[in-house]
Amino acid sequence: MHVEEIISRLKELYPEGYFHINREPFYLLISTVLSQRTRDEVTIPTAQKLFSVLDTPEKMASADVDEIQELIRDVGFYKVKSQRLIDISRMLLDEYDGVVPDDINELVKLPGVGRKTANCVLTYAFDKDAIAVDTHVHRISNRMGLVETDTPEETEIGLQKVVDKELWKDINGLMVLFGKSICKPVSPKCDKCIMNDICPKLI
């Protein structure tokens, strides 16, 4: 199966792509941390609410944890994330002069930032070639036979081997949209899928 064909069809299905409201690096980093185990419909307004009050690393680093908890109460694990946002902001100020690094090895040093979050920041904030593997990307890549992997980290490595680098940054956004609307975790809409003639699940 040609991965270029899959991505081409997804681009036809979602010509607007996946667009974050705000691509500023600090906003993208914090909103992606907020999004962990939380739906976009909750994450986006919560991030906007948070940044209407605390919109810089300086403000967030000096904020009271109870204040942040109140602002992000709607997201999953909000108590853990509240302290994490403070810790991230303090580390940015202490070690990176308040600037979000554009290197994955530096990003993953930040509290609560794994490869998926780091790659989202690289892709959407810095427009770098990276593959952010969330549950949608991991599931769809395996269903479509692009990889045979057990973990998102393995999926990232596997996709890097079979996808041309100039297409890396397209994968996350397209597969997230596809995974939410068609290729769902449970009861995927295979009868309505534009991949049903090439999907290993169906042929």
Active site residues: 116, 134
- Residue 132's φ and ψ, nearest 5 degrees, are -90, 115
Rounded Cα gap, residues 91 and 94, in angstroms: 5
Percent helix, strand, coil in the chain, to 5, is 60, 0, 40
Structure tokens at 25: 């690096």
Rounded Cα gap, residues 57 and 39, in angstroms: 24
Q: Return the CA Rg of the chain.
A: 18
